[in-house]
Amino acid sequence: MKKVILITGSSSNLGTQLAKKYIDEKCVTYGIAKDTQNLPGLHYVPCDITNFDNCKVVVEKIIREEGQIDILINNASVNLNISPVEYYTKKEIREFFDVNLLGTINIIKAVLPYMREKRKGKIVNISSVYSPMGIPYQTLFAANKAAIDSLSSGLRMELKDFGISVITAHAKMINFHENGNFMVKEDDDYFTTYKHAHKLMIAENKKQVNPKRIARAIYNATKKGHPPAKIYVGVKNSMSRIFLSLIPRKVREKYVRNKYFKNRDNEEKIKKTIEEINTKNKGEVKDMTDK
């Protein structure tokens, strides 16, 4: 019997690659998103996941047509500009967490009664390798992924007796509006650190893990009878994983600060040195004038 897959955010880059992978593997694949999607083999269903009743209607439709949902992949998300937390509007913050966190919870709640009834199922939540730490000017992104990690951990314990597995996929990626507004002006207190962090994030974004690779890793995890609780994609070695989860907070924060603000710190040192030289030179000129 073919597996039935439900993917949220199926119109995104990763969502499309996930849909293609499961379709290629002969799975019955449903995708839900706000944007219309015409992908051969995909059963597209429009859905606003911030609305729990809407999620229930979509899930009930799939159950009527297929009788089950074997795998739920929570991929839906909205992005924010790179910005200090202070400068996000209330509307931006609410929309971000409504989709990225509340939406994830809504669709899980809608699917769980049917998975419990079947005493089987797999839920995949998309996290990030950056979830154990804060990321300056992407603080809300990291906070959301940390919440997804805790949600997954709690669900894993709650659902184990029902034969339902919860997998957290930690990909080396940060989602933001790459072409969004530069949120800080030159006379702003944040400008020096923001400028360097923004530049680095844009550069890193171009080197993010290929969505095809993430989709393949997720598929390989979900096809296992006893899937791993966590998978990592784009983390080079086991030491990196240990660093991300076990190193003390102060060490992690120092590492992240040095990574994003190192050029800023060097710039500050150079600026201070120039000021000292100028002060010294002014003093020497004054001495010569006095003589």
Domain, as residue range, for 118: 4-246
User: 77 near 131, Cβ under 8 Å?
Assistant: no
Q: Indicate the residue type of 125.
A: N
Same domain, 148 and 279: no
Per-residue pLDDT tens, the chain, 291 aa: give them. Answer: 899 999 999 998 899 999 999 999 999 999 998 777 789 999 999 999 999 999 999 999 999 999 999 999 999 998 888 899 999 999 999 999 999 999 999 999 999 999 999 999 999 999 988 787 788 999 999 999 999 999 999 999 999 999 999 999 998 765 665 555 677 888 889 888 888 888 888 887 777 788 999 999 999 999 999 999 999 887 664 445 555 566 777 777 787 778 777 755 555 554 555 556 556 555 544 444 444
Query: Which stretches of the chain are assigned E, i.e. beta strand?
Result: 4-8, 28-33, 42-46, 71-74, 121-128, 164-171, 230-233
Give the 3-state secondary structure of 70-85. CEEEECCCCCCCCCCH
Instruction: Give pLDDT tens digits for 151-187.
Output: 999 999 999 999 999 999 998 765 665 555 677 888 8
Q: Scanning the structure block, which residue is given the tokens 């995949």?
A: 124
Split into its structural domains, the chain has a count of 2
Report d(CA 244, CA 246) in Å as an integer. 6
217 and 288 both lie in a single domain: no
Please state, rounded to an integer, the average pLDDT across all residues of the chain: 85
Q: In a 10 Å sphere around its CB, with 0-12 CB exposed, 13-18 middle and 19+ buried, how is residue 5 labelled? A: buried
Judgement on whether residues 241 and 258 belong to the same structural domain of the protein: no
Task: Please check whether residues 71 and 119 belong to one and the same domain.
Answer: yes
Q: What is the CATH number of the domain that holds 242?
A: 3.40.50.720
- Per-residue pLDDT tens digits for 64-86: 999 999 999 999 998 888 899 99
Please indicate, yes or no, whether residues 235 and 257 belong to a single structural domain of this protein.
Answer: no
